[in-house]
Amino acid sequence: MSISFDSEKGIFSISTENSSYIMGITADEILTHIYYGAKVETFPNISGIYTDSIIKCMGPSYNKENPYISTAGIYQEYPTFGSADYRVPALKAEYEDGTNVTRLVYDSYRIYGGKPALEGLPAVYTHSDEEAETLEITLKDKYSQMRVILLYSVIKGFDAVIRSARIENGGKEKIKLRSALSASMDFYNAGFEITYLSGSWARERHIKKLAVTPGNFAVESRRGASSHILNPFIAISETGANEKRGEVYGYSLVYSGSFIAGTETDEDSVRAYMGINPFNFCWTLEAGDSFQTPETVLVYSANGFGEMSRTYHRLYRTRLCRGKYRDTARPVLINNWEATYFDFNEEKILEIAKKAAECGIELMVLDDGWFGKRDNDKCSLGDWFVNYDKLPCGIDGLAQKVNALGLKFGLWFEPEMVSPDSELYRKHPDWCLHQKDRLRSESRNQLILDLSRKDVCDYIVKAVSDVLENANITYVKWDYNRNMSEVGSALLDPERQGETAHRYMLGLYSVLERITSAFPDILFESCSGGGGRFDPGMMYYMPQAWTSDDTDAVERLYIQYGTSLAYASSMMGAHVSAVPNHQVGRVTPLEMRGLTAMCGRFGYELDLSKLTDEETETVKEQIKLYHKYENTVHKGDMYRLLSPFECDAAAVEYVSEDRKEVLFFYFNIKGTPAIPDRKVRLDGLDAGAYYRNTGNGEVYSGAALMNMGLLMPRNSDNFSMLTVFEKL
Ligand code: DGJ
For residue 367, give the ligand 1 atom closest to its CA.
Answer: 7
The pLDDT assigned to 391 comes to: 98
Provide the pLDDT for residue 73: 84
Place 51 in a pLDDT band, splitting at 50, 70 and 90: very low
Helical (H) or strand (E) element with 545: strand 544-546
User: What's residue 208's pLDDT?
Assistant: 98
Q: How high is the pLDDT of residue 67?
A: 80
Which residues are CB-contacts of 323 (< 8 A; sequence separation ≥ 6)?
516, 520, 543
Give the pLDDT band (50/70/90) at residue 527.
Answer: very high
From the list 507, 513, 482, 480, the residue with the least C-alpha distance to 492 is 507
Q: What is the pLDDT of residue 447?
A: 98
The arithmetic mean of pLDDT across residues 123-147, rounded, is: 98
Distance of CA 691 to the CA centre of its chain: 35
| Selection from 545, 529, 547, 549 nearest residue 537 by Cα | 545
CB 529 within 8 A of CB 228: yes
- The answer to whether residue 660 scores a pLDDT higher than 80 is yes
**Residue range 279-328, pLDDT digits in tens:** 999 999 999 999 999 999 999 999 999 999 999 999 999 999 999 999 99
Pairing of the two strands 363-366 and 408-413 = parallel
Per-residue pLDDT, averaged over 477-481, amounts to 98
Question: How does the average pLDDT of the chain come out, rounded?
Answer: 96
Share of the chain above pLDDT 90, in %: 92
Q: Is 489 exposed, middle or buried (0-12, 13-18, 19+ CB in 10 A)?
A: buried
Distance from residue 368's CA to the centre of ligand 1 (Å): 7
Q: How many CA atoms lie within 13 A of 342 on its CB side?
A: 12
Residues within 6 Å of ligand 1 by CB: 337, 367-368, 412, 479, 481, 527, 529-530, 546, 549
Q: How far is the CA of 479 from the centre of ligand 1 (A)?
A: 7
State the amino acid at position 159 in one-letter form.
Answer: D
Whether 327 is catalytic: no
Task: Residue 33: name the closest of 371, 270, 237 by CA.
Answer: 270
* Whole-number Å distance between alpha carbons of 571 and 593: 18
Q: How far is the CA of 133 from the centre of ligand 1 (A)?
A: 41
User: For 627-643, what is the mean pLDDT?
Assistant: 98
CA-based R_g, the chain, Å: 27
Residue 605 is which amino acid? E
Ligand 1 atom nearest the C-alpha of 546 is 3
User: Taking residues 564-568, what's their average pLDDT?
Assistant: 98
Task: Check residue 326 and give its pLDDT.
Answer: 97
Is the pLDDT assigned to residue 492 strictly greater than 70? yes
pLDDT for 53: 55
Q: What is the pLDDT of residue 267?
A: 84
pLDDT (mean) for 622-644:
98
Calpha distance 50→482 (Å, rounded):
47
The dihedral sign for the CA sequence 118, 121, 126, 131:
negative
- Atom 9 of ligand 1, residue of closest alpha carbon: 529
Taking residues 21-26, report their average pLDDT.
92
Minimum CA distance residue for ligand 1 atom 1: 529
Mean pLDDT of 516-521: 98
Contact 633, 572 (CB under 8 A): no
Beta bridge partners of 723: 664
What is the residue type of 366? Answer: L
Q: Which of 421, 479, 535, 637 does the annotation list as catalytic?
A: 479
Centroid of ligand 1 to alpha carbon of 581 (angstroms): 16
CB atoms inside a 10 Å sphere around CB 17: 11
Which residue of 417, 419, 549, 601 sits with most ligand 1 atoms within 8 Å of its CB, as the best mutation to test the pocket?
549
Q: Of all protein residues, whose CA lies closest to atom 11 belonging to ligand 1?
A: 368
Over residues 206-241, the pLDDT tens digits come to 999 999 999 999 999 999 999 999 999 999 999 999
Q: For the packed helices 613-635 and 346-359, what is the interaxial angle rounded to 10 degrees?
A: 70
Q: Is the pLDDT of residue 362 over 90?
A: yes
CA distance 346 to 726: 46
Q: How many CA atoms lie within 13 Å of 635's alpha carbon, on the beta-carbon side?
A: 18
**Residues 406-460 pLDDT 10s:** 999 999 999 999 999 999 999 999 999 999 999 999 999 999 999 999 999 999 9
Distance 466 CA to ligand 1 centre (A): 22
Residue pair 182/292 in contact (Cβ under 8 Å)? The answer is: no
479 given a catalytic annotation:
yes
Cα of 315 to ligand 1 centre, how many Å? 29
Check residue 117 and give its pLDDT.
Answer: 97
Provide the whole-model pTM. 0.98
What is the per-residue pLDDT for 105?
A: 96
CB 179 within 8 A of CB 152: no
* pLDDT at site 48: 46
pLDDT surpassing 80 at residue 193: yes
Q: Which of 549, 550, 637, 683 is catalytic?
A: 549
Q: What is the mean pLDDT of residues 169-188?
A: 96
Atom number of ligand 1 nearest to Cα 549: 3
> What is the spatial distance between Cα 667 and Cα 195, in angstroms, rounded to a whole number?
24
Of the pLDDT bands very low, low, confident and very high (cuts 50, 70, 90), residue 74 is: confident
Identify the CA nearest to 711 among candidates 644, 664, 669: 664
d(CA 422, CA 79): 48
